[in-house]
Amino acid sequence: MSTLVSGHWGRLAAVSAGVVLALAGCKSKEEAPAAPPAPAAPVLEGQVDIVAWPGYIERGETDKGYDWVTGFEAKTGCKVNVKTAGTSDEMVSLMTQGGYDLVTASGDASVRLIRGNTVQPIDVARVPSYSTVDPRLQQAAWHYMDGKHYGVPYQWGPNVLMYNTTVFKEPPTSWSVVFEPTKLPDGKPNKGRVQAYDGAIYIADAAVYLMAKKPDLGITDPYALNEAQYTAALELLRGQHPLVHRYWHDANVQVQDFTTEGVVASGSWPFQVNTLAANGQPVASVVPAEGATGWADTTMMSASAAHPNCAYEWLEWSISPKVQGDVAAWFGSNPAVPAACNGNELLGAEGCKTNGFENFERIWFWRTPEAACAGGECVPYSRWSTDYVAVMGGR
């Protein structure tokens, strides 16, 4: 009997305990806060409007093999509209006027865009591949300020010395062939056969040359020039003026000048070198002994972007290895994502080496000159802009 009673009360106890636990479980579930709803995916606005350097955003219209726009549009439904600009000043002007979401800004424009509140900080959490960007560029001074990212690195490269290989049987070793009066290897003077860039930042090219030619000037940074250093650069450029066939800013016009106008040497971009070579013209390029200026371009978003979600989609798309490698192959630039150097059919196994990937440390990347500089008081860009217009006018 005691065994039966014990088993009966034991079962009752077990049932009671189960009820208590069940009630406790129900109470626990009732008290648990509801899980927050998953955030809604950003609504894509159907288009993105971009200011870009020529050749930076291709949809296969020039060469069907180079198209990194069509796939983006198919994937996102965001139509890409592009306005090309030939100088950084033009880019700043366009972005200041408004109506564009993104700009592929070089360092001589990016700081001005940030200081003018024309562009907004980027939330890199919305650009998942940002960690794949070259560590040397992730927090570069021309787009990372006050602990904020103001864009996503896109491409970089040197301002090369492009030359005609029928005139120069050996690559020129110095920028002197465009800066100073001289006879070229074909025995003819360089006057009227060389070009210079139509942009105030070209003063830095003169400064790079003077760093080697006149070390007593003490130039240590071509974008941070004191009055004496700045005056010396302007004097060099004024002396160059009679030699210049054209101050160029349109890449396609320079291509035409090298094809039909007898121009044989100039500072240039790899884009023109590649275009001319593809057209069978006798050109090549070099980074001379003095080094070179260059550009590390950043895709930045307008502070008043009308299509920010499509813009973020483009920022992520733009740093995929495939896009990075294709752009580098087309433009002759170097990818901001090193992984793009490997396995890209258009770029090829030696593409990054050919485009000067190993020259990173020899390049003085464009940066907006500011009055406050490491050396004390420096000549600001506003002076550069005004004075270079006078130089081009022969004054």
What are 61-78's pLDDT values in tens digits? 999 999 999 999 999 999
Distance, CA of 91 to CA of 95 (rounded, Å): 6
What are 217-234's pLDDT values in tens digits? 999 999 999 999 999 999
- Stretch 83-98: mean pLDDT, rounded? 95
Distance, CA of 98 to CA of 255 (rounded, Å): 31
Helix (H, G, I), strand (E, B) or coil at 172: coil
DSSP assignment of 352-385: HHHTTGGGGGGEEE-----SEETTEE---HHHHH
Distance, CA of 225 to CA of 205 (rounded, Å): 12
Q: What are phi and psi for residue 312, nearest 5 degrees?
A: -65, -40
Q: Yes or no: say if 102 and 311 are a contact pair by the CB < 8 Å rule.
A: yes
Helix (H, G, I), strand (E, B) or coil at 287: coil
- Stretch 37-59: mean pLDDT, rounded? 90
DSSP β-bridge partners for residue 49 = 81
Predicted pLDDT of residue 19: 42
Fill in the amino acid letter for 51: V
Predicted pLDDT of residue 40: 74
Please report the domains of the chain, with CATH numbers, ordered by start residue. 47-157+295-365 (3.40.190.10), 159-292+369-392 (3.40.190.10)
Q: What are phi and psi for residue 351, nearest 5 degrees?
A: -60, -45
Predicted pLDDT of residue 161: 97
Helices (DSSP H) in 32-120: which residue ranges?
Answer: 70-76, 88-97, 107-115
Predicted pLDDT of residue 13: 41
What DSSP state is assigned to residue 201? G
Provide the token pair at 184. Answer: 């070229």
User: Quick check: 30 pLDDT over 60?
Assistant: no
Distance, CA of 95 to CA of 36 (rounded, Å): 39
Distance, CA of 186 to CA of 106 (rounded, Å): 36
Which residue carries 């990075």 as its tokens? Answer: 324
Predicted pLDDT of residue 366: 94
Predicted pLDDT of residue 274: 87
What are 274-331's pLDDT values in tens digits? 899 999 999 999 999 999 999 999 999 999 999 999 999 999 999 999 999 999 999 9
**Listed range (161-170, 181-190, 336-345, 373-382) with the worst mean pLDDT:** 373-382
Task: Tell me the pLDDT of the chain averaged across its residues.
Answer: 91
Number of Cβ within a 10 Å radius of residue 191: 13
**Looking at the chain, how many residues does it have?**
395
Q: What are phi and psi for residue 21, nearest 5 degrees?
A: -65, -40
Provide the token pair at 395. Answer: 């004054």
**Listed range (37-41, 113-117, 205-209, 284-288) with the worst mean pLDDT:** 37-41
Going by pLDDT thresholds of 50, 70 and 90, the confidence category of residue 257 is: very high
**Listed range (11-15, 30-34, 251-255, 259-263) with the worst mean pLDDT:** 11-15
Give every strand in the sheet of 244-248, ordered side by side: 244-248, 194-197, 265-268, 160-164, 283-286
DSSP-derived pairing of the beta strands 265-268 and 194-197: parallel
Predicted pLDDT of residue 24: 45
Predicted pLDDT of residue 31: 58
CA distances (Å), 367 to each of 15, 112, 116, 133, 294, in order? 78, 10, 15, 20, 10
Contacts of 366 (CB under 8 A, 6+ apart): 88, 106, 107, 108, 142, 201, 204, 223, 293, 294, 295, 296
User: Quick check: 6 pLDDT over 70?
Assistant: no
Going by pLDDT thresholds of 50, 70 and 90, the confidence category of residue 38 is: low
Helix (H) or strand (E) holding 19: helix 2-31
Highest mean pLDDT among 2-6, 27-31, 56-60: 56-60
Predicted pLDDT of residue 15: 39
User: Quick check: 26 pLDDT over 90?
Assistant: no
Predicted pLDDT of residue 85: 95
Predicted pLDDT of residue 178: 98
What are 126-148's pLDDT values in tens digits? 999 999 999 999 999 999 999 99
DSSP assignment of 112-150: HHHHTT-EE---GGGSGGGGGS-HHHHT-TTTEETTEE-
User: Quick check: 168 pLDDT over 90?
Assistant: yes
Helix (H, G, I), strand (E, B) or coil at 302: strand
Terminal CA-CA length for the chain: 122
